[in-house]
């Protein structure tokens, strides 16, 4: 699934500010965290940093705000790779120029529709299909967290309802419930997978 990251730029007074867009055009954008994009989690991160006119280097990168730690990490990692076109400085200009870059992590409309379709499929699979996927995932991804398994990630996303602030709680709740879900599914493979969830989780995911 492709992801969209939107970036804006705010700056203090800066010599050559009219050329700012050209200076930033080749700088890499943050990578949408895989775990969050798979769950449809959207949010923002705002990063402050200094740019030095003498060589265009970036330093003092600081996350001002973020809806999720993974968004903060992605934004900070991208900024640390940025480099700007040096600009002419007077003898008195010895300090970096402070900038703020707000990033928005957001799925576009087509991607959101695909996510909704995938989540709808989660409601249709039975326990046998879930068990088969879980077995294949464990064999192919030894030692990897079950939270990255597609059906589990979609399930957590349904609980979080796309909100970064709800992600940690939804992830923890589902991880705690997963062993019981798998046991219930083993006892009745023809049951609907979502019917094996604890009642409160199922009600939250379905909006009841």
Contact residues for 158 (Cβ-Cβ < 8 A; gap 6+): 119, 122, 205
Same domain (yes/no): 87, 160? no
> In this structure, are 63 and 148 located in the same domain?
no
Same domain? 100 vs 130: no
Residue 9 has pLDDT above 70, yes or no: no
Assess whether 87 and 117 both reside in one domain: no
Give the residue-averaged pLDDT of 75-100.
80
Rounded to an integer, the average pLDDT of 59-76 is: 96
Question: Does residue 120 share a domain with residue 48?
Answer: no
- Note the pLDDT tens digit of each residue in 123-173: 999 999 999 999 999 999 999 999 999 999 999 999 999 999 999 999 999
> What is the percent of the chain with per-residue pLDDT over 90, rounded to a whole number?
68
What's the pLDDT score for residue 207?
Answer: 82
Residue of 62 and 53 predicted with greater confidence: 62
**Average pLDDT estimate for 72-87:** 90
Q: List, in sequence order, every residue forming a beta bridge with 102; answer none if it has no partner.
A: 46
Domain that holds residue 155: 110-206
Same domain, 88 and 134: no
Nearest CA-CA partner of 164 in 64, 30, 41: 41
Claim to verify: residue 132 and residue 149 sit in the same structural domain: yes
Are residues 121 and 45 located together in one domain of the fold?
no
pTM for this model (two decimals): 0.80
pLDDT at 13: 35
The confidence score (pLDDT) of residue 72 equals 97
* Portion of the chain with pLDDT greater than 70, in percent: 83
Q: What is the CATH number of the domain that holds 12?
A: 3.30.2420.10
| In a shared domain, residues 120 and 103 | no
Q: Are 159 and 142 in the same domain?
A: yes
pLDDT at 172: 96
Average pLDDT value for residue range 44-65: 91
The structure tokens listed for 192 are 């609907």
Helices 150-160 and 109-122 cross at an angle (nearest 10°) of 110
The total domain count for the chain is 2
- Same domain for 114 and 169, yes or no, is yes
């Amino acid at each position: 699934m492709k992801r969209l990251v939107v970036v804006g730029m705010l700056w203090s007074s800066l010599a050559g500010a009219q050329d700012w867009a050209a200076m930033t055009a080749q700088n890499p954008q943050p990578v949408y965290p895989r775990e969050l994009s798979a769950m449809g989690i959207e949010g923002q991160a705002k990063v402050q940093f200094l740019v030095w006119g003498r060589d265009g280097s970036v330093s003092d990168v600081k996350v001002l705000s973020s809806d999720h730690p993974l968004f903060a990490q992605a934004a900070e990692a991208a900024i640390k790779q940025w480099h700007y076109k040096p600009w002419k400085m007077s003898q008195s200009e010895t300090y970096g120029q402070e900038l703020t870059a707000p990033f928005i992590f957001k799925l576009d409309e087509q991607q959101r529709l695909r996510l909704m379709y995938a989540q709808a499929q989660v409601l249709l699979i039975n326990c046998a299909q879930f068990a088969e996927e879980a077995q294949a995932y464990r064999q192919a991804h030894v030692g990897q967290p079950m939270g990255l398994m597609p059906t589990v990630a979609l399930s957590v996303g349904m609980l979080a309802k796309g909100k970064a602030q709800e992600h940690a709680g939804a992830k923890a709740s589902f991880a705690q419930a997963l062993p019981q879900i798998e046991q219930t599914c083993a006892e009745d493979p023809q049951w609907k997978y979502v019917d094996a969830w604890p009642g409160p989780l199922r009600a939250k995911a379905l909006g009841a």
